[in-house]
Amino acid sequence: MREIVLDTETTGFEPAEGHRIVEIGAIELLNHMPTGRVYHQYINPERAMPKEAFDVHGLGDEFLRDKPPFAAVAAAFLDFIGADSRLVIHNAAFDMKFLNAELGWASLPIIAMDRALDTVAIARRKFPGSPASLDALCRRFAIDNSAREKHGALLDSELLAEVYLELIGGRQPDFGLSVDVGGPGQSAAESWRPGPRPNPLPPRLSAEEAEAHAAFVAGLGDAAIWKRFA
């Protein structure tokens, strides 16, 4: 299963007020494991960067001036996320409204909301009453976020990928997903469970190693545990 852990940085809180995306960071997961493929893009918002946004992101007008507008990078972004990969986002409603606003302004099809999996919602179900910010979850799972002096889309995506794997049960997601993510009204994406491997992996034991092991066991005598349970 392919998933995209995604984050955006913006000039403000509402696209309806003219605010725009200034950075997108995304990481590809395959069967809950990072593949090494990433998407990272700074974007010219074609408007002045408010001081409060600069204070959060550290991205100013001079830095963003020579970056492409969203319309120029939209095709590459859509190609990276694919047509049906699940989008893992912290506070998904925020990022999705900005992405779909930008896609609409570029006269491109919007992304269906049911593709997004909100890690804030998962964290609140798993730890009711506890803080669900990305920093708080990093502290809970002992994930090093010391480099997060400013909000950055790619760094936040990398941290979120680690948080997400912990939220769904660590490197063996079925241990936690069946208890904490499921529930009434869950989406098809949230109720996903890994199935059996369609084709067994080939053995990694060579014929020489098998023969050496058989000779070793033969020399242990009839009381060897390997013989009793053969």
Domains and CATH numbers, the chain: 2-180 (3.30.420.10)
Angle 108-68-158 from CA coordinates, rounded to 5°: 85
Query: Tens of pLDDT along 171-198?
Result: 555 444 444 444 444 444 445 566 676 7
Which residues contact residue 45 at a Cβ distance below 8 angstroms, ignoring those fewer than 6 apart? Answer: 11, 19, 20, 21, 22, 64
Bridge partners of 24?
8, 41
Predicted local distance difference test score (pLDDT) of residue 126? 95
In angstroms, what CA-CA distances link 72 with 69, 76, 78, 100? 6, 9, 12, 15
What pTM was estimated for this model as a whole? 0.73
Query: Tens of pLDDT along 130-162?
Result: 999 999 999 999 999 887 766 789 999 999 999
Q: Which residues are catalytic?
A: 151
Q: Which two tokens stand for residue 187?
A: 């989406």
Using an 8 Å Cβ cutoff, are 109 and 100 in contact? Answer: no
The CA distance from 182 to 114, in Å, is 15
